[in-house]
Amino acid sequence: MALQAQPNPAHYALAELARRKKGFLTLSQNADGLSQRAQHPSSQIRLLHGSLFDVKCTSFYCNYVEQNFTDPIVPALAIPKGVPQPAPLGTAESGADATDSLSNAMEAATAAKELDISDDRIEIPELDPTDLPQCPKCGDGLLRPGVVWFGEMLPSQTMSDINEWIKNSEKVDLILVIGTSSKVYPAAGYVDEARAKGARVAVINLDRADTPGGMYGLQKGDWFFEGDAGVILPEILKGEIGDISDRAHNRQ
């Protein structure tokens, strides 16, 4: 699904802002790779929750990491597809009906959709460990997505980079809080850290219910923009990045 998705104008707007403002840094909780595909400068983005397309070894002692866009990463991990069965021949009223039933089933098999494997009624085939993606470096560990799963620590180098950036910034002019409920820490705490450096806050969100007295703690002089970030962000940044509508459309 992430591979089929396309960056929206908000991704392109932030990428353009980063290119024009060398002191700008994006902190992203997204793992979908869309910012990178919008050519956001890699030196000006920090992925707090990792990336689906960074594949790493599960072994504690192995540091193997690669970018991998193969889907599925190995054939055994393909999501099962549902294939409708033809109506029993005994129910067909004629030979033509039976032929149509078989023909329709063959067409359905070609266009079979992936099953919802989150549904516990869907049977998932058992796999042999040898069918799973093996680490090419150590040979002992399996490969896994380079994302932060529940219960795992956030990437230490990323967190260190962010803390150093904040510490070394004499002043922060503005923090944009885009499309997040700001309930997940430590990301949610960066609003207060930016404020301590003098920043004003601009929130772009579909739902005002997430705002103060909610999580953002908006204060006098801050801004709240209610709506789709893909529409709002390019518009409010137009004075700094120009009109990106044509560029974003052409890149998609």
The answer to whether 62 is a known ligand-binding residue is yes
Instruction: For the chain, list the strands marked E by DSSP.
Output: 26-28, 45-47, 50-57, 65-67, 81-82, 113-114, 143-147, 174-178, 200-205, 223-226
Residue type, 125: P
Q: Which of 194, 135, 153 is nearest to 50 (CA)?
A: 153
49 in catalytic set: yes
The answer to whether 141 is a known ligand-binding residue is no
Q: Say which of 11, 40, 49, 249 is annotated catalytic.
A: 49
Between the two ends of the chain, the Cα-to-Cα distance in Å is: 16
C-alpha of 163 from chain center: 23
The answer to whether 200 is a known ligand-binding residue is no
Residues within the annotated binding site? Answer: 57, 62, 135, 138
Which residues participate in catalysis according to the annotation? Answer: 49
Residues within the annotated binding site for Zn(2+)? Answer: 57, 62, 135, 138
